[in-house]
Amino acid sequence: MTAGMKVSETDASSGPAESLVSEVAVLIVGYRNSQDIVDCLTALSHATPSPAFDIFICENGGHDAYHRLVSALTSDGGPCLRGQSLGIEIDSNTSRFTNVQRLALRVRSSNVWVGCASDNLGYAGGINAWLRPLSAIPSWRAIWILNPDTQPTESALASLHERAKSGRKAMVGSTIVDSLDAAHVRFRGGLSWQKLAARDVAIGLGELLNVSCNIAAVEDAMDSPSGASMYVTRWCIERIGFMDESYFLFYEDMDWGLRARHLGLGYAADSIVVHKRGTTTGSAEASSAIPVLSVYLQHRNSVRFVRRHFPWSVPLRVAVSLMYALRFLLQGAPNNSRAAVQGLVAGLKGEMGRPKARMAQ
């Protein structure tokens, strides 16, 4: 059994221990954005009955943020109720959580596990903090990674599940739309890597949502599902391993998708996920409004990504980052211009993981 989670043999209320995790495990990584997670779980509460799912949340923002999140989820009008232990425990000696509580959705039989990370684990670290103990439990067949600032429609999960099953797809992406412009597409499935430009592009960006598209063409172009909604089968994870935590934030989803591409990437067009865009990573329309840390990590990790997957394009990536730095400068965002250059240099030097010197920014 994988260290980190202990499962009792039986439980009077739910039968065999393996039934304590449903067919799909929904994984969410939060960072001091409890209202986003409340809205996300409220939307999930209205999902179609099948497939059944349980929710696993990693709060990366510390103990105060963890307690605020649990309080917000279980407040009057919140989507959750406090639950009792069902014979499944987190081993405190091996877990990356300092505290874990089990809640339950008010309107359906889905457990909601909320873990307080021992440190800011980053995006991939927050996913892996739950994936490792979950690997000890045989019942679930797939995970669904959702950004906390998303609100899936009722059939979003069912459409992902069906596309993975019918097409034998390892990973499946959704149709992502912005909350402020739900008539247009932000992503069809996910991302495509432009080799000659050394950058990723969103497939279907700006297209009208109600216009039909060629599913096969989208899937052929995909190099990764969007990390905002990423359905990943268990058999895929068993073949390619967990997310790479060395990125900390940005490019880990693209890296994971490329590692799975030969196993089959899918697009569920009817899986509509509304994304608030920017509340988790700080992305914004105005260049000066983008947090310095986000700019730094985007350009640092882009170098790591191309070195791993397209090493011949490192000089192209350097040029792209320098052009971004110049654009930031021309747009009146000198701090972000500097951060792009600093991130580029850090990437070339091989820095990876949590950027400790910049965590306070």
Of 140, 155, 182, which one is at a domain's C-terminal end? 140
Q: Which pLDDT belongs to residue 33?
A: 97
Q: Specify if 127 maps to a domain.
A: yes
Q: How many domains does the chain have?
A: 2
Q: Specify if 98 maps to a domain.
A: yes
User: How far is it, in rounded angstroms, from Cα 137 to Cα 174?
Assistant: 26
Q: Which residue has the tokens 């216009």?
A: 211
Q: Specify if 177 maps to a domain.
A: no
99 pLDDT more than 80? yes
| Of residues 238, 229, 230, 232, the one with CA closest to residue 142 | 232
Q: Which domain holds residue 23?
A: 5-140
Q: What is the pLDDT of residues 11-42, one digit of tens each?
A: 333 333 445 789 999 999 999 999 999 999 99
Lowest average pLDDT, out of 20-24, 124-128, 258-262, goes to 20-24
Of 107, 140, 173, which one is at a domain's C-terminal end? 140
| Of residues 327, 349, 341, the one with CA closest to residue 292 | 341
Q: What is the pLDDT of residues 269-319, one digit of tens each?
A: 999 999 996 545 445 457 778 999 999 999 999 999 999 999 999 999 999
Q: Specify if 148 maps to a domain.
A: no
Q: Specify if 158 maps to a domain.
A: no
Of 106, 140, 174, which one is at a domain's C-terminal end? 140
295 exposure class (CB count in 10 Å sphere: 0-12, 13-18, 19+):
buried
Q: Specify if 162 maps to a domain.
A: no
User: How far is it, in rounded angstroms, from Cα 293 to Cα 359?
Assistant: 8
Q: Which pLDDT belongs to residue 18?
A: 41
Q: Which pLDDT belongs to residue 306?
A: 97
Q: Which residue has the tokens 């459409």?
A: 159
Q: Specify if 347 maps to a domain.
A: yes
Q: Which pLDDT belongs to residue 256?
A: 98
